[in-house]
Chain A
Amino acid sequence: MCTTISNTAPVDGAGKGGAGWFPISVVNVGFDHATGSRFEHALLLDFADPDRGPGARVAVELDLESGRALIAALQATIEAAELSGAPV
């Protein structure tokens, strides 16, 4: 926990962790020491419900290039979703 680079966004959805599906209320995005990947530092994405305790999270670690690819894929998918007219 060396960088103090961390941002949080509110989200509405659900994530699947070790104990099955649970509602998620925030996504925390940090850049700090990696735990599960080979990187020294990584983008740390946690889809979480803080009210359920520290274990209620779906964690993903990515390098920066992967993070940019994720943003592009999300953007393209959101645009297609809006064009489709299908309800959320």
Chain B
Amino acid sequence: VPTVWNTFLTDDQSGLVAGVISYRSDVGDLIHAYLARPEGPGPFPGVHHLPGWDEIYREIARRLADHGYTVLAPDLYCRHGHGQPDDVAAMVRAAGGPPDDDVVADCAAARDWLRALPTSNGKVGIMGSCSGGRHAVLAASRASGFDAVVDLWGGGVVASPEQATAQRPVAPIEYTADLTAPLLGIFGDLDSSPSPAEVDQHEAELRKHGKKYAFHRYPDAGHGFFYYHRGIYRPEAAMDGWQKVFAFLAENLS
């Protein structure tokens, strides 16, 4: 895959359309989602991005759309009301986070919504960062039918039974045998959630079950090192990580 960054041709027809839609989750609720898609008839692969609606995630959705993907970013916190993203996240955090069962249902419906588009090429991936990385692994393991999974430093994929909560009763690693899609993982060695030891444990489980995966680790990066609005941003690692993401999506969704 050639270098991705800044390789547009100056005379490309590269418009995109973005805005809020709603779709029906597999548990029946209507869910808001931010949709970003290239203009034109396609065919375009779909990517379903998590966890939510902070400004940077909308930007990531548009970035992926700029590179030829139809992106649906569901508002997994939709059931808790609306307001500024950090206020809604605070309310959801106090409630223990979105229940895993709801997340899987919302993601499965989003997968089907993307695949049903007339512009779809039939392929749908799921990608998330932080808690969204955990959700991506969880949803792809419990609901089959995804063609690629990208886990960006998802914390809590590995968890002890003592860490189980009503919302998160089972750690996603327990479903590894059921994962059918190839998995890309991007991690920083300075991260504490997931720690390097937890990434090792996840990798061992994937290997044990003969899963197709690729993990990339960055020694000078911690958690969330793509986030340019935080002090944790590591530009060289982030640019290399983005290159890995685009190469993986191109390989599995084209």
A interface vs B, CB < 8 Å? 1-4, 6, 8, 26, 28, 30, 32-33, 35-36, 38, 40, 44, 46, 48, 50, 53-55, 57, 59
Contact = CB atoms under 8 A, between A and B. Distances in A.
B130 A54 contact: no
Interface of B: 51, 80-84, 86-94, 96-97, 130-131, 134, 155-156, 163, 165, 167-168, 193, 222-224, 231-232
A54 B93 contact: no
A54 B156 contact: no
A4 B90 contact: no
A2 B50 CA distance: 13
Given A28-B90, A40-B231, A50-B94, 8 more contacts: A1-B89, A1-B92, A2-B131, A3-B155, A8-B94, A54-B80, A54-B88, A54-B90
A33 B82 contact: no
Contacts of A32: 93
Nearest to A59: B90
A12 B188 CA distance: 43
Given A3-B155, A40-B223, A40-B232, A57 B87 contact: yes
B86 A4 contact: no
Nearest to A2: B155
Contact of A4 (B91, B168, B222): B168
A30 B94 contact: yes
B193 A50 contact: no
A55 B232 contact: no
A8 B118 CA distance: 47
Nearest to B52: A1
A59 B130 CA distance: 22
Contacts, number: 76
A55 B84 contact: yes
B222 A40 contact: yes
A1 B96 CA distance: 9
B222 A3 contact: no
A4 B223 CA distance: 16
A33 B130 contact: yes
Contacts of B84: 54-55
- Please give me the 6 A-B residue pairs with the lowest Cβ-Cβ distance, nearest first: A2-B155, A54-B83, A28-B94, A54-B87, A55-B83, A54-B91
B222 A57 contact: no
A4 B97 CA distance: 7
A34 B56 CA distance: 15
Contacts of B90: 28, 30, 44, 46, 48, 54, 57, 59
Contacts of A26: 94
Contacts of A1: 51, 89, 92-93, 97, 130-131
A35 B92 CA distance: 15
A30 B93 contact: yes
Contacts of B92: 1
A2 B94 contact: no
A6 B232 CA distance: 23
A62 to B, nearest CB: 15
